[in-house]
Amino acid sequence: MDKKRKKLKIEQADITPVCPHCDKEIEKLIEVSRGFMSINRVFCCPYCHKIVGVSSGQ
Ligand SMILES: [Zn+2]
């Protein structure tokens, strides 16, 4: 529909991600497995255990 799509420039940088909930720098994420039939993978902050990302698929 919209022919003038804005292209998003992606820049790679060596930064440490910060949790949006507790503002702590996180170098790893906790992956929550909700049952063996779970489709979604849920990633949590290791400090506050709040969800920072959800990935669907395997
Ligand atoms: Zn956090």
Dihedral Cα 9, 13, 15, 18, nearest 10 deg? 10
User: How many domains does the chain fold into?
Assistant: 1
6 is a domain residue = no
- Residue 40 Cα to ligand 1 midpoint, Å, equals 20
Would you state the pLDDT for residue 32?
A: 83
Q: In which domain, by residue range, is 21 found?
A: 16-58
- Residue 41 Cα to ligand 1 midpoint, Å, equals 17
Would you state the pLDDT for residue 2?
A: 63
Q: What is the DSSP letter of 20?
A: T
Would you state the pLDDT for residue 54?
A: 85
The two tokens of residue 46 are 């290791």
Would you state the pLDDT for residue 36?
A: 62
> For the chain (length 58 residues), average pLDDT per consecutive 10?
78 92 94 71 92 80
Closest by alpha carbon to 32, among 17, 22, 42?
A: 42
- Residue 10 Cα to ligand 1 midpoint, Å, equals 25
Would you state the pLDDT for residue 25?
A: 95
1 is a domain residue = no
4 is a domain residue = no
- The pairing of strands 51-55 and 30-32 is unpaired
Would you state the pLDDT for residue 37?
A: 59
